[in-house]
Chain A
């Protein structure tokens, strides 16, 4: 969109330029994928929740994953982050095969996720929530726990980093409050900033805008764009099409467990298959027939 051109940041321009020549079709290869999934399938009983033939996520971009309820977006997230195991399929993160890798190891590799139903640790303070996010803490070994000199220096470093992030997400005034006293929107912010404490390369946000008021949505948008500016890749699930259009460089559409369309936001908003998937113009028919 011409009007947006001036407001786009440097990184956004780079990301969009890299994706400009990518054909808008499902499973298309990207110039520099950070995450690739191939033949990933997961069924629960008779229902196939996810059946992705191939999908690639471009490094340094903001990619939106959209689709109607029950399309398998969250299940796909769970599969990629090893919270669930696919029946078949292979997937790679940053060139490393993730098959058989446990969930907690994916965070060490630089892949972090948030949850649709926000998981703030309610009976811990906001700053404790944040400090928990840091990886590679020496004091997390129980034998070091009793020897504060082994971890105090690192703890101070982590606390400084946590405070800086809290200030950036405007949560610093709640620093010492219980996370359970935060509002829904603040919890979303806390969860996102806690995820950033792991120093991720890929941030996967599951419905970051759900239940967030419009004013906070604007600042969340800015924060997500800020992640790309810092060199992170963002993959997020969202229903709010305005927001998707506003911040994403690339959009992937899922329905009935499959990837039915990919493309830039403009290409997607005029794609008849996507409109059908959302509005159900051809109810009862397979969504792939029209493609």
Chain B
């Protein structure tokens, strides 16, 4: 057993590209589902809008890659309108059905042979992000770490990483201290400082184990900054009167309507806002790999994002960011652990004579099992997620 490999895999995934693009998508889904109560099962469709908008710039439109960003927003708005116009006047379950169907429509259209000249068929579009990749200050073939004092990080990088770690520690520390202090406000500052120091220590120790290639590293820096900025915007929005209406609609839309709010319009705004955020997730994911593949935007993605969001806690910006990080860390841990286990046991794992793993491809199946178990245990022992509010959950049944 090589525990150092397992640790590196786990912690790299904790801050990794998958966690980053899931976090962006989860922030969007949180606006729709966590705050507004819209059961959107088509988040992958919005992500595909972003991915294909940037992918098509060079491939079909023949314009600069950067035009992909505004085009992606336009795609997401159009997709949101198509989704919302027929369903938002109806009950929540209709939205769920239509969204899942529409997202599949998007995937099937972009992978179809008929539209190959626009979307590249099932091969997708490759090497469109050259202007993003080539501008990278990082060498694609060397390894980079998020640890501020690593050899691969220069002075500016160290300062940036340290500052962002400090900001994360202060914010997360404040939240943890609130959980810790509960009702009593006494000694809150001490608890805040202790929590912040603990978070900082964790980030420093954890980041030391991370390792990324140059392109991933650049995508990570851009993606996480984007996630932080968008997360901050959503946090502010949800504390504004706009957010109050949105949360009210989640609770009871008739009550909100009776108080003179145009519920339909607000639901549409939430759906589109969440979709536009998810579109950035699609952009970042496709850019980080330099390619767009239709099957990266299948239903599974939507449900994994949903799982990660619920893991973090609904209706909490922090939950929508940390949830995906933990989700991928757990998956990578299980994957790496089973790999190491199989390796150290000579390629196959038997328990009580039952051959559980005989080939490395079996491991993926067990990872799926773990996702399922994780959800079950989460629902039983912590239905509010990691950052969710237990009190709020208890009020659910009135």
Which residues of B lie under 8 Å from residue A141 when comparing CB positions? 242
| Segment 375-398 of B: residues with Cβ below 8 Å from A | 391-392, 395-396, 398
Q: Is the CB of B261 within 8 A of A104?
A: yes
A residues in contact (CB < 8 Å) with B:
81, 83, 102-108, 112-115, 119-124, 128, 131-133, 135, 137-142, 144-146, 148, 151, 155, 178, 180-181, 191, 194-195, 197-198
Chain B residues contacting A151 (CB-CB under 8 Å) are 240-241
Residue B233 lies at the interface, judged by CB distance under 8 Å to chain A: yes
Given contacts A137-B241, A139-B242, A140-B242, contact A104 B263 (CB under 8 A): yes
Q: Is the interface of B mostly helix, strand, loop or mixed?
A: helix
Let me know if B248 and A140 touch, CB within 8 A. Answer: no
Q: Which one of B245, B273, B398 contacts A140 once the chains associate, using CB atoms below 8 Å?
A: B245
Task: Give the number of chain B interface residues (Cβ < 8 Å).
Answer: 31
The 4 residue pairs across chains A and B that have the minimum distance between CB atoms: A107-B260, A180-B395, A139-B241, A145-B240
CB-CB under 8 A for A113 and B258, given A178-B391, A180-B395: yes
Q: Nearest Cβ in chain B — how far from A211, in angstroms?
A: 13
Closest chain B residue, CB of each to CB of A200? B260
Smallest CB separation, B241 vs chain A (Å): 3
- Judge if B174 is at the interface, Cβ distance under 8 Å: no
Chain B residues engaging chain A, CB cutoff 8 angstroms:
233, 236-237, 240-245, 247-248, 250-252, 254-263, 269, 273, 391-392, 395-396, 398
What B residues does A137 contact at CB under 8 A? 241
Nearest B residue to A121 via CB reads B251
B252 to chain A, nearest CB (A): 5
The reply to whether B260 and A108 form a contact with Cβ atoms under 8 Å apart is: yes
Q: Which listed residue, B233, B245, B259, touches A107 by the CB 8 Å rule?
A: B259
CA distance A131 to B251 in the complex (A): 15
Instruction: Give the contacting residue for A102; candidates B240, B242, B262; CB below 8 A.
Output: B262
Q: Identify 28 residue pairs between A and B in the complex whose beta-carbon atoms are under 8 Å apart, listed by A's number.
A: A83-B258, A103-B257, A104-B260, A107-B259, A112-B260, A121-B248, A121-B252, A121-B255, A122-B251, A122-B396, A123-B247, A123-B250, A123-B396, A128-B244, A132-B244, A132-B256, A132-B261, A140-B241, A140-B242, A140-B244, A142-B273, A146-B233, A146-B237, A146-B240, A148-B236, A178-B392, A181-B395, A195-B258
Q: How far is the CB of B45 from chain A (nearest CB, A)?
A: 22
Q: Hey, which chain B residues are within 8 Å of A142, CB to CB?
A: 237, 242, 269, 273
Question: For residue A154, which residue of chain B has the nearest CB?
Answer: B241
Contact status B242-A112, CB under 8 Å: no
Q: Are A119 and B242 in contact (CB under 8 A)?
A: no
